[in-house]
C-alpha cells in the first residue's frame, strides 16, 4: 500500500517537473505541418499518465509537434483491453502504428522515440 502511494506521488512529481521543463514544439510551414498531422493520425500512444517512460515519449511528441492520440491504458478499461488483445501485453508506453493496411505495436520508450525521430524530425 505504501509502495503504491509512493509510486503515485513520484509519478505526479515527474509529470509536474516535465510540465515545467517541457520542450517547445517544432515549427513547420503550414503545408508540412498538415502532412505531419495527417501521418500522425495513424498513430496512437497507449500510456499511463504518471509513468516516467510515457512522459519521455510525450515530451518527444510535443517537441516534434505531433498530434498523436493518447490512450490511457490505466483508467480506461477499453483501451487497456485493446492493448492486451491486439498488442499482446499490458505494457506502456506502446505506440500503435497503422501503415499500409498493417497494424504494428511498438514498445519501449527509446524504440518509440527513435521511430518518431526517424519519421518526423526532418519533416
Q: Could you report the per-residue pLDDT of 75-113, keeping only the tens digit for each?
A: 899 999 999 999 999 999 999 999 999 999 999 999 999
Report which of 70, 54, 63 is spatially closest to residue 25, judged by C-alpha positions: 63
CA distance 2 to 43: 36
C-alpha cell at 27: 515549427
Q: Which domains does the chain have, with CATH numbers?
A: 32-121 (3.40.30.10)
Spatial neighbors of 78 by CB under 8 A, at least 6 apart, are none
Q: How many CB atoms lie within 10 A of CB 45?
A: 23
Band (pLDDT 50/70/90 cuts) for residue 5 is: confident
Write the DSSP symbol of residue 83.
I
Phi, psi (deg, nearest 5) at residue 6: -65, -40
The model scores a pTM over 0.85? yes
Residue 116 three-state SS: helix
CA distance 43 to 5: 32
Q: What is the phi-psi region of residue 29: left when phi exceeds 0, alpha when psi lies from -120 to 50, beta otherwise?
A: beta
**Model confidence at 123: pLDDT above 70:** no
Amino acid at each position: 500500500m505504501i509502495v503504491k502511494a509512493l509510486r503515485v506521488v513520484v509519478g505526479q512529481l515527474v509529470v509536474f517537473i516535465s510540465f515545467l521543463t517541457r520542450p517547445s514544439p517544432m515549427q513547420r510551414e503550414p503545408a508540412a505541418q498538415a502532412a505531419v498531422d495527417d501521418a500522425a493520425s495513424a498513430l496512437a500512444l497507449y500510456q499511463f499518465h504518471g509513468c516516467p517512460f510515457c512522459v519521455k515519449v510525450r515530451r518527444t511528441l510535443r517537441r516534434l509537434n505531433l498530434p498523436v492520440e493518447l490512450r490511457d491504458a490505466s483508467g480506461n478499461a477499453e483501451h487497456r483491453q485493446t492493448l492486451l488483445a491486439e498488442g499482446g501485453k499490458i505494457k506502456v508506453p506502446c505506440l500503435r502504428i497503422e501503415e499500409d493496411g498493417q497494424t504494428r505495436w511498438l514498445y519501449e520508450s527509446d524504440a518509440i522515440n527513435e521511430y518518431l525521430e526517424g519519421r518526423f524530425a526532418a519533416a
